[in-house]
Amino acid sequence: MSKSLQAIRGMNDILPEQTPLWRYFEGTVARLLDNYGYKQIRMPIVEFTELFKRSIGEVTDIVEKEMYTFEDRNGDSLTLRPEGTAACVRAVLEHGITGGGQVQKLWYIGPMFRHERPQKGRYRQFHQIGLEVFNLDGPDIDAELIIMTWRLWGELGIRDAVKLELNSLGTSESRGRYREALVEYLSAHHDKLDEDSQRRLKTNPLRVLDTKNADTQAVLVDAPKMADYLDDESRAHFEGLKARLDAVGIPYVLNPKLVRGLDYYSKTVFEWVTDKLGAQGTVCAGGRYDGLVEQMGGKPTTGVGFAMGIERLVLMLETLEQIPAEISRQVDVYLCAFGEEAELAGLTLAERVRDQLPNLRLQVNAGAGSFKSQFKKADKSGALYALILGDDEMAQQVVGFKPLRGQGEQQSIAWDALAAHLATCVVQG
């Protein structure tokens, strides 16, 4: 195929054979969030570039080198959203729905765009489900977010394969004091740092902590620890969070090097990581960002949230073979009709059944075909039962009812009794 007719590198089609698993995953998350009282918000995919620069921070990987930025026909600089928090904060401010201390518990789902090096679990268009809570500043809500994800891993059957890493970055004051101490220490070891870390030391020194370079890691062993710089308020908040996780029985590991890529975090930060996906091991990440709304021009409003990567979680379900058998079957009943008269009868019969059983997944054969070919299609559809309308059935005003999976003889069912019969043998979702 010529190059112009290919998808952009790192941007994937999700093919029909993959969508059942996506929908199962998304449906499971949506139901869970509904049950915990979160409401969905939908934001545009494109925003003014300035929004991301101001919120994410100029010296982050995202803003420095990963954004899809372009000029539109008005000459405005626009950017395909690389993450959801900035747009969500913009939306709540613009519509005043967090004003006066109003609590908002919101979630969103959709594509995000980052110009990264594509590889397994890392794409240029990827999908997140994200969640943001405004105007609740206690550790109880931080705990709820984590408890909710814990329940999700349980429902998906992947709980044993993920691990919770936890850290506190403190308030911006204590983070500032820590940053100074860290810069002083690292500057004294400047020559032993890798090039990237030397650069980050000047721009975003906390990010040196999550370096992958072994020499720099060795230098970090004796570096000042964030935990020693936490103010009383952050410390109490962190203890409150840990006490709640302990009470519910959620295991975690403290990772003092967990700083997250974005500038705006404070106090709680966390990541759910797995060793089942190779290098792209973080499936869900988030934290508290109490200063962000004000930084973006709003009244002081606390916030906490997380985002999970759908591709990575779907990949995990596949890798761990946690795919419920029933999700790939999309047809309950397949109707075969032979001859023009039977086709017409089949069509009207199908509509009557659909009136009575709106959740039944009933597929009517299209494109006619011989007895053999229609049965082949019925079988391939995954349906549990075939309905048959041939000359004999037409004469008697019945429909042949044939189990396609396992035992059971073909029966004849009167047209009027068909819906009632189907209701007894097909479990409807």
Judged by the rule CB under 6 A, the positions of this chain that interact with ligand ATP are 83, 114, 116, 121-123, 126, 128, 261, 280, 282-285, 307-309, 311-312
Place of tokens 């946690």: 322
Place of tokens 């079988």: 379
Specify whether the CB–CB gap between 256 and 225 falls below 8 A: yes
Minimum CB separation of residue 180 from ligand ATP in Å reads 25
Instruction: Choose between 122 and 329: whose C-beta lies nearer to ligand ATP.
Output: 122
Specify whether the CB–CB gap between 109 and 307 falls below 8 A: no
DSSP 295: H
Place of tokens 């079957």: 329
**369 is an annotated ligand-binding site residue:** no
Minimum CB separation of residue 25 from ligand ATP in Å reads 13
Specify whether the CB–CB gap between 410 and 344 falls below 8 A: no
Minimum CB separation of residue 144 from ligand ATP in Å reads 19
Return the residue nearest ligand ATP (CB atom).
309
Instruction: Choose between 105 and 114: whose C-beta lies nearer to ligand ATP.
Output: 114
Instruction: Choose between 11 and 30: whose C-beta lies nearer to ligand ATP.
Output: 11
Minimum CB separation of residue 20 from ligand ATP in Å reads 20
Secondary structure element (H or E) that encloses residue 401, with its range: strand 398-403
Instruction: Choose between 83 and 290: whose C-beta lies nearer to ligand ATP.
Output: 83
Minimum CB separation of residue 85 from ligand ATP in Å reads 9
**295 is an annotated ligand-binding site residue:** no
Separation between Cα atoms, residue 266 and residue 360, nearest integer Å: 49
Minimum CB separation of residue 92 from ligand ATP in Å reads 19
Minimum CB separation of residue 402 from ligand ATP in Å reads 45
**132 is an annotated ligand-binding site residue:** yes
**312 is an annotated ligand-binding site residue:** no
Specify whether the CB–CB gap between 142 and 268 falls below 8 A: yes
Instruction: Choose between 122 and 402: whose C-beta lies nearer to ligand ATP.
Output: 122
> How many residues are present in the chain?
429
Instruction: Choose between 152 and 307: whose C-beta lies nearer to ligand ATP.
Output: 307
Residues facing 411 on adjacent strands: 401
**84 is an annotated ligand-binding site residue:** yes
Angle between helices 172-188 and 195-203 (to 10 degrees): 140
Instruction: Determine the 3-state secondary structure of 208 from DSSP.
Output: helix
**128 is an annotated ligand-binding site residue:** yes
Q: Residue 427's Cα: distance from chain center in Å? A: 29
With the CA atoms of 322, 328, 333 and 335 taken in that order, what torsion angle do they form, in degrees rounded to the nearest 10?
-160
**85 is an annotated ligand-binding site residue:** yes
Q: H-type helices in 249-332, by residue range?
A: 292-295, 310-319
Maximum distance among all Cα pairs of the chain, rounded to whole angstroms: 95
**229 is an annotated ligand-binding site residue:** no
Instruction: Choose between 210 and 343: whose C-beta lies nearer to ligand ATP.
Output: 210
Q: Is the dihedral of CA 298, 148, 325, 316 positive or negative?
A: positive
- Residues annotated as binding site? 83-85, 114, 128, 132, 260, 264-265
- Residues annotated as binding site for L-histidine? 83-85, 114, 128, 132, 260, 264-265
